[in-house]
Amino acid sequence: MVYSAQHIAAQNQSKKRSQFFNNTVQAKPFFSPVLQLKPAGEKVETVMPGVPEETAKYLEELNRDFDKARKNLCELSRELFKQAINTKGIINSDTAMALDVFSNVAANCSSLSGYIKLKPKSIAGTGVYKTYAHNYTDDFTGSKEGRDKFDANDWHQAVKQGTNAGTREEIAGVGGFYQRSNDTINLPEDATLGSALHESMHRMSGSRFRSFTRKFTDPDFLSEGATQYFTDKVLMDIGLPKMSGHKYGSNVAAIENLVRKMNGNFDALARLYFQDDITAFHEILFALQLAPDLKTMIANPGQKIYDAVKTN
């Protein structure tokens, strides 16, 4: 049987994708490099040239004790957060401290800790966490008085100055935002804790995911979906349910579909989101069959990724 050149090319492409998934995107057990956790039963030999054997053994014992202490601290942080958190509750004076715990658990004690490069600096008492006066009655724009009240609202003014929202409708739809230029988490005083957690996840992300994944309309669709996806992942690592009642349902569904298309592994997504890893970006394009190899850049990648993973 004689195969056409197109058939042979298609076969080769299929083999390349299969090899990519087998070699690159296989799910592997995660062990945090931050905590230096080792698989159960793995024996680690430490070689210390020039160090007396007794001293080396003593240092190894100290290291094991230190690892144990860090793991215990992680467990304590998880439990404290789990007991104190209601993601649907309204933010309060303790929220900044809760965000510190959440950020540190995410960065040091979760399935994401090997990816989070920007280890979080303290939020509480540093000016990072900002809230603004707001009440739902300030969102009514059916009269001139209502529109004037809307425009004068502290939160609405902050949104207009700190985001791309321009119309009153767009401004009213913003429940919080992270401003990278001055490292601030900004929220209305009637926001939910879930919104605060979402914004704190934005703070741990790299700076390029948003630009890599922008699409023509609703440009931040994939960025917001990935942020909520990873927020939910940390909550589940802690033992809490995913957040519900937010507006990112279709966004998260698209990201979950992307992960499914990546052989069920979020590795490339996390490397791109947290580390600005361009190789991970190419892996995603290739896995979604948007690029012929792991080097070719395509036009409008965010739109094409969205078209490949949208669920409706």
Structure confidence at residue 15 as a pLDDT band (50, 70, 90): low
Structure confidence at residue 80 as a pLDDT band (50, 70, 90): low
Q: At what angle do helices 221-238 and 301-309 cross, to 10 degrees?
A: 60
- CA terminus-to-terminus distance, the chain: 42
pLDDT in tens, 89-139: 999 998 998 999 899 889 888 999 999 987 668 999 999 999 999 988 999
Q: Is the pLDDT of residue 226 over 90?
A: yes
* Residues 188, 195: Cα–Cα separation, whole Å: 10
For residues 51-60, give the mean pLDDT. Answer: 73
Measured in whole angstroms, the distance separating CA 85 from the mean position of its chain's CA atoms is 19
Order of all β-strands in the sheet with 177-179:
129-132, 184-188, 177-179
pLDDT of the residue at 12:
59
Q: Is the pLDDT of residue 36 over 60?
A: no
Other beta carbons within 10 Å of 265: 17
Percent of the chain with pLDDT over 70: 77
Q: Is the pLDDT of residue 219 over 50?
A: yes
Domains in the chain: boundaries: 32-203, 205-312
DSSP 70-99: HHHHHHHHHHHHHHH--TTSBP-TTHHHHH
pTM: 0.79
Contact 32, 74 (CB under 8 A): no
Q: Is the pLDDT of residue 152 over 50?
A: yes
* Residues 75, 108: Cα–Cα separation, whole Å: 11
- Give the closest residue to 212 by CA, choosing from 151, 300, 131, 288: 300
pLDDT in tens, 163-192: 999 999 999 999 999 999 999 999 999 999
- In this predicted structure, which of 23-37, 48-62, 64-78, 275-289 has the lowest mean pLDDT? 23-37
Sorted by sequence, the CB contacts under 8 Å of residue 167 that are 6+ apart come out as none
Structure confidence at residue 41 as a pLDDT band (50, 70, 90): very low
For residues 223-249, give the mean pLDDT. Answer: 94
